[in-house]
Amino acid sequence: MSERSLNIETLLLHGVPPPDEGTGATIPPIFQSTAFAYPSAEALEAVFAGREAGYVYTRINNPTVDHFERRVNVLEDGLGAVACASGMAAITAAALALAGAGDEIVSANSIFGGTYSLFHDTLGRCGITTRFVEATDVDAYRQALGDRTKLIFVETIGNPKLDVPDIAAIGRLARERGIALVVDNTVTTPLLVRPRELGADIVIHSASKYISGQGHAIGGVIVDCGTCDWSNARYEYLRPFHQRVQQFALLAALRNQVSKNLGGCLAPFNAFLLTLGLETLGVRMERHCSNAVAVAEFLGTHGKVEQVRYPGLAAHPDHGVASRQFHGRYGALLALRLGSRECCFRFINRLQRVRNLANMGDARTLVIHPASTFCRDLSAEQREAVGAGEDLVRLSVGLEHPDDILADIEQALKAL
Amino acid sequence: MKIKVNGQAVEIPDHLSVADLLTHQKVKMPDMVTVQRNAEILDRKNFAATKLAEHDEIEFLYFMGGGAGVAGRSR
């Protein structure tokens, strides 16, 4: 049976051969080495020149990081992957590999606040303009595309708006126009969806979330699906790389120039932790999703909750798209509207086991008030676009017994 | 038959394809190598179907190391 035909739960464990067959170790060793020595000046020159494969410096590549990249790449059925220090570093590198001053990005408007700020503020100051469009309106993407558009960016599920763009429809549009579709698959993971199958050209993960699974390491990864033609005149930055290594043009630009120069590399120890996290992703996602359904159904009928946003609920406007796209599972993020900021704070403060912190995808159930935390630097209008109203809290449902999660939430709601 | 690999003369069995050559030469990271045959870059999809011929000049190119391999500004 080829690697590609294995089920994803098996690929998590066996998708890439053990890195050190000589010892029989099943877990990758941690190559905690800044650089790698060569026996001669000629040998190191050959690696720099690309005539030989090899590791040179951990900011560029490292065997432990390389193993993690391969593991993620197999799951996303990609051409290759480049790991980064964080999900934000991955998005930054991918965007800068494709776009420069004078270029444009068309992005869903309901993306994570940090990414929104990256596009609007940081890349905006570099002369890259982002046109934010209603995430679920395919025509809005179509109208926003221009000659200088270098990428379309969407998240599989908006955060914290929890809307679900129709990736297949956006993928068809991207293909029609010869523009790369970049999909952030952090909250759904390849267990729920492989964006490549829906037309994505590049897949991004913040590996700090479900891939880590325990809130123990920051990391990110970019997967080139190998589906975009980088010889397209639109990608002028990639032209010299394409002339040299053809379909590997984006990966080469990232590895040998953009990511290398930005310096946001993944630490080997974090790569080790994230690789371990990957192995249990399958069973964890099952439990995350089933627990989230239990919480959403409970809150959906609770008198103190004005609205529950969860794409798994039939009443969610994108339930149909989500069902088709994620094969009957809907992730573990949900958002509650509780009437006011004060009610949100009272609810959070009353929770006993659900932890109030700025993360998601942890084994523990987490809560946060987005408007006062990771979306606080956005304007009121931008917060509205990303769905971070003052009266909203986001839950990241963990792996505890569902009865215990519900009991904690129920007692906290009594404070309202 | 004789071919050149990365500038070095190499003796290989007849009828090898490019895919076979990667194995024969124990090429590291074969999934990440670009192969240039007589100054022309081969499409990876054609590695198995492309048979080598006497005096072919083969170059393996990687992007795993530190050099971008592209000079100057890209625009």
How do residues A325-345 score in pLDDT, each as one tens digit? 999 999 999 999 999 999 999
pLDDT value at residue A381: 86
Contact A221, A84 (CB under 8 A): yes
Identify the band that residue B65 occupies on the pLDDT scale cut at 50, 70 and 90: confident
Q: What is the pLDDT of residue A191?
A: 97
How close, in Å, is residue A94 to chain B by CA atoms?
Answer: 16
| Ramachandran bin of B12, using left for φ above 0, alpha for ψ from -120 to 50, beta for the remaining angles | beta
Instruction: Give me the mean pLDDT over the A61-65 stretch.
Output: 95
**Chain B positions in Cβ-Cβ contact with residue A17 (cut-off 8 Å):** none
pLDDT higher for A172 or A377?
A172
The pLDDT value recorded for residue B64 is 78
* Percentage of residues of chain B with pLDDT beyond 90: 65
Q: Which of A150, A153, A174 is nearest to A100 (CA)?
A: A150
Pairwise CA distance, residues A119 & A170, whole Å: 19
Q: Does residue B75 carry a pLDDT above 70?
A: no
Instruction: State the pLDDT confidence band at B74, using cuts at 50, 70 and 90.
Output: very low
Name the average pLDDT for chain A.
95
Cβ atoms A48, A54 nearer than 8 A: no
Whole-angstrom distance, CA of residue A181 vs CA of residue A173: 9
Within 8 A by CB and 6+ apart from A23, the residues are none
Binned at pLDDT 50, 70 and 90, residue B68 comes out as low
Residue A266's pLDDT band, with cuts at 50, 70 and 90, is very high
Give the model's confidence band at A218: pLDDT under 50 very low, under 70 low, under 90 confident, else very high.
very high
Q: Note the pLDDT of residue A154.
A: 98
Please judge whether A246 and B62 are an interchain contact, meaning their C-beta atoms are less than 8 angstroms apart: no
- Report whether pLDDT(A54) > 80: yes
Q: Are B68 and A257 inside 8 Å of each other by CB? A: yes
- Class of residue A366 by CB neighbours under 10 A (exposed 0-12, middle 13-18, buried 19+): buried
Could you give the 3-state DSSP secondary structure of residue A125?
helix
* Chain-chain contact of B43 with A246 (C-beta, under 8 angstroms): yes
Kindly determine whether residue A60 and residue B74, on different chains, have CB atoms separated by under 8 Å. Answer: no
Tell me whether strands B40-41 and B34-37 are parallel, antiparallel or unpaired: antiparallel
Q: Average pLDDT, stretch A245-265?
A: 95
Higher model confidence: residue B21 or residue A23? B21
Nearest residue in chain A measured CA to CA from B8: A51
Facing residue for B66 by CB, picked from A57, A244, A251: A57
pLDDT at A18: 79
Chain B hits for A57, Cβ within 8 Å:
66
Chain A residues touching B65 at Cβ < 8 A:
47-50, 52-54, 56, 60-61, 256
Check CB contact of B59 with chain A, cutoff 8 Å. yes
Report the percent of chain A where pLDDT is more than 70: 99
How far is Cα A32 from Cα A268, in angstroms, rounded to an integer? Answer: 6
Report CB contact under 8 Å: A53, B33. yes
DSSP3 helix / strand / coil % (chain A, rounded to 5): 45, 15, 45
Distance from C-alpha of A416 to C-alpha of A354, rounded to nearest angstrom: 17
Residue B70 has pLDDT above 70, yes or no: no
Which range (A224-233, A355-364, A371-380) has the least confidence? Answer: A371-380
% of chain A at pLDDT higher than 90: 90
> Do B32 and A248 count as a contact with CB atoms less than 8 A apart?
yes
What's the pTM?
Answer: 0.94
